[in-house]
Amino acid sequence: MSTEKIAFVTGGNRGIGLETARQLAATGVEVVIGSRDLKKGEAEAAKLRGEGLKVNAIEFDITKQADYKKAYDYFNKKYGKLDILINNAGISRESFAKPSAPSTVSPAVLRETFETNFFGQIELTQTLLPLIRKAPEGRIVNLSSILGSLTLHATPGSPIYDFKTLAYDASKTALNQFTVHLAHELRNTKIKVNSAHPGWVKTEMGTDAAPMEIPDGAKTSVQLATLPADGPTGGYFHMGQSLPW
């Protein structure tokens, strides 16, 4: 079994996921990025290795169940454990600039969004959990969003009160529930499970209208992935600050 910390970042070949891999690796963690396009993933991993960082890539698509088992086999064979899982992969099929009214969001958009942002995250985590249990102190980070906050959506005058994309928001609210439930199950172990809001970041999803740069967008995930033994679990955070559910 590897004595170094090993991390898996899904959707890690670009944007926040890639920057998370870079920052995690800079702390001494050996990082594996999951990429739907293996060539792109390997190209980005090679660039990071050129910076002196320990980063590799595997082909991984959160929408393909067969890839969950392949990821398990990879980590089990090569490392015998998994210290950090960052469930970073996610999609939005709605326009944040001009969202559809909830009464018109199609069932197809709802189902596709939940398959990636909720069901896929749970099944992958369940598949890899036996390897995380073998780590000295496992960390699971679920990439949520402030848009998953029911409290803020229901509070007039909140930063997100007038920004409502039903499928995306609901999928992140559901993912937060998974965070709370899994953290409760693992409360008597050394594994910590938390939800991260990266912020509104200049990515393909966030667009250039976003105020935050990608390096800042990765900070919350890295903080939660490297929590000390007395750190929180079952929480919802942005830059070290708790968010309301």
Measured CA to CA, the distance from residue 29 to residue 50 in angstroms comes to 16
Q: Is residue 213 part of a domain?
A: yes
Confidence at residue 214, expressed as pLDDT on a 0 to 100 scale: 72
Q: So what's the pLDDT on residue 200?
A: 65
Section 40-54 average pLDDT = 96
Asked if residue 1 has pLDDT above 80, the reply is no
Tokens describing residue 191: 């594994």
Query: 58-108: per-residue pLDDT in tens?
Result: 999 999 999 999 999 999 999 999 999 999 999 988 887 788 889 999 999
143: phi then psi, degrees, rounded to nearest 5: -75, 105
Whether the predicted pLDDT of 211 surpasses 60: no
Structure tokens at 59: 């082909």
The reported pLDDT for the residue numbered 206 is 47
C-alpha closest to that of 8 among 187, 156, 174, 221: 221
Write down the pLDDT at residue 199. Answer: 76
CATH of the domain at 17: 3.40.50.720
Kindly give, in sequence order, each residue whose CB lies less than 8 Å from that of residue 157, ignoring residues fewer than 6 positions away: none
Q: What is the pLDDT of residue 202?
A: 44
Q: Give residue 212's pLDDT band: very low, low, confident or very high (50, 70, 90).
A: low
- Determine contact, residues 114/120, Cβ cutoff 8 Å: no
Domain assignment of residue 134, yes or no: yes
What global pTM score does this model have? 0.94
In a domain, 49, yes or no: yes
171 inside domain: yes
pLDDT digits (tens, 9 = 90+) for 139-196: 999 999 999 999 999 999 998 899 899 999 999 999 999 999 999 999 999 999 999 9
pLDDT at 127 exceeding the cut of 80: yes
Q: What is the domain extent for residue 190? A: 6-242
DSSP 69-124: HHHHHHHHHHTS--SEEEE------S-SSSPPPTTT--HHHHHHHHIIIIIHHHHH
Give a yes or no: residue 157 inside a domain: yes
Residue 92 is assigned to a structural domain of this protein: yes
Residue 205 located in a structural domain: yes
Q: How many domains does the chain have?
A: 1
Percent of the chain with pLDDT over 90: 81
The answer to whether residue 36 sits within a structural domain is: yes
